[in-house]
Amino acid sequence: MAEQIKKPVKITETVLRDAHQSLIATRMRTEQMLPIIEKMDKVGYHSVECWGGATFDASLRFLKEDPWERLRKIRDGFKNTKLQMLFRGQNILGYRHYADDVVEYFVQKSIANGMDIIRIFDCLNDIRNLECAVNAAKKEGGHAQVALSYTLGDAYTLEYWMDMAKKIEDMGAHSICIKDMAGLLLPYKATELVQALKDATTLPIQLHTHYTSGVASMTYLKAIEAGCDIVDTAMSPFALGTSQPATEVMVETFKGTPYDTGFDQNLLAEIADYFRPMRDEALESGLLNPRVLGVDIKTLLYQVPGGMLSNMVSQLKEMNASDKYYEVLKEIPNVRKDLGEPPLVTPSSQIVGTQAVLNVVMGERYKSVTKETRAVLSGEYGQTVKPFNEEVQKKAIGDKEPITCRPADLIENELAKIEAEIAPWKEQDEDVLTYALFPQVAKDFFEYRQAQKTKVDPKVADKENGAYPV
């Protein structure tokens, strides 16, 4: 390499969100995070991802922690580093479409509690479902990043991604992320895709992938050489497998090149030393299954995200139909096609996966149709890249006229109603949003919180013990 312009690659650290979500079922507690933040703050990360749908849900459900309190504590610790979260567009951190007033209020409160960068995606890549959150983030002075939910299929050409990138730039977003949740992006395809996006837009490009299929660090290398600005990595004790490439390895790879991050490896080593016992403990308790640490080549064959596979395995087990595993795997692409070939990411991954299980287990396709499949086929999640299978649509929704507008246009503002429902438990404004997203889980948590204050309700205490899998 002769004289070259320096272009340090920027790093988003995922150990506080995606890494522990991918490897240990999102069970890292706030108190396990706080002692290391001061050191992490000195690394020079572009951002630290620390919040998202699963972290929010798991804090309430299993750890009995207020996710807002976690955010405030993490914010207090990071004086110099930007915080980042993952946001499901009009689904916020949940599974259904919310009214605009809830989306706006959630963004407002996230930023008010310390969030800097909001990574917004839609499971169908329907741009209309991103607009409300993007506008809200801009209005609140946050960084609005839009993620392309990366997937494969004949509709997903370079032109498709370029067109989407242009629309995202027109929307006024600040950056674009290629969100490769299943680890499908191959190294040389990454070169093509990053170059295409760089041609289509002037926005910074970030790449997010998972190591599941074993190609992730090669993909990062090619993407960065093609001009990718930022990559997502995880500290080594919580890297690889279904998680991200290791931070230290990426840093070392680019040392002495124009992409040199300038990070201090000794500091990174100290941070890794902090997290390693947590990994060892998780391996010992079984919370971290060594199986998820290897290469799962099925991901490339079936193009299914790891989390979706494990969901499917447990659904089949519950139905005493574990022998149907490969049949269901074959049915997934068929259901995906019937539903307009969407990317497979929460919530579309669960919808397609559950329907595929039913189609196989019932012995007849669409004999039983889930509420969510019906909603997709009614247009209630938005527009898919390809048309629905009309026969399947007819079977699922009959003569009902599918909607074609932005789904949230049909949802009345709902904040006031939600606020009234939770009035008895409300201790802070944010409780309204917690309840809006996960009503039952939130209610259980609020009851627990109240009981903790009086510490006399043994019934709640029992329930709490049962809900602690770690």
Positions that interact with Co ion (CB under 5 A): 18
Question: Cα-Cα-Cα-Cα dihedral of 380, 381, 386, 391, to 10°?
Answer: -40
300 vs 442 by CB, closer to Co ion: 300
CB 181 → Co ion: shortest distance, Å? Answer: 5
CB 306 → Co ion: shortest distance, Å? Answer: 10
205 vs 377 by CB, closer to Co ion: 205
**Euclidean distance between CA atoms 21 and 168, whole angstroms:** 28
214 vs 258 by CB, closer to Co ion: 214
Spatial contact of 189 and 160, defined as CB atoms under 8 Å apart: no
18 vs 131 by CB, closer to Co ion: 18
Name the residue with the smallest CB distance to Co ion. 18
Q: Which helix (H) or strand (E) holds 207?
A: strand 205-209
349 vs 393 by CB, closer to Co ion: 349
Length of the chain: 470
CB 188 → Co ion: shortest distance, Å? Answer: 22
List CB contacts of 280: < 8 A, sequence separation 6 or more.
none
DSSP state, 9? Answer: P
DSSP string across 264-310: -HHHHHHHHHHHHHHHHHHHHHTSS-GGGGS--THHHHH---HHHHH
Strand-strand pairing, 143-149 and 175-180 = parallel
18 vs 331 by CB, closer to Co ion: 18
Residue 239 CA: distances (Å) to CA of 104, 196, 219, 366: 34, 29, 15, 39
113 vs 242 by CB, closer to Co ion: 242
**Euclidean distance between CA atoms 39 and 84, whole angstroms:** 18
CB 212 → Co ion: shortest distance, Å? Answer: 10
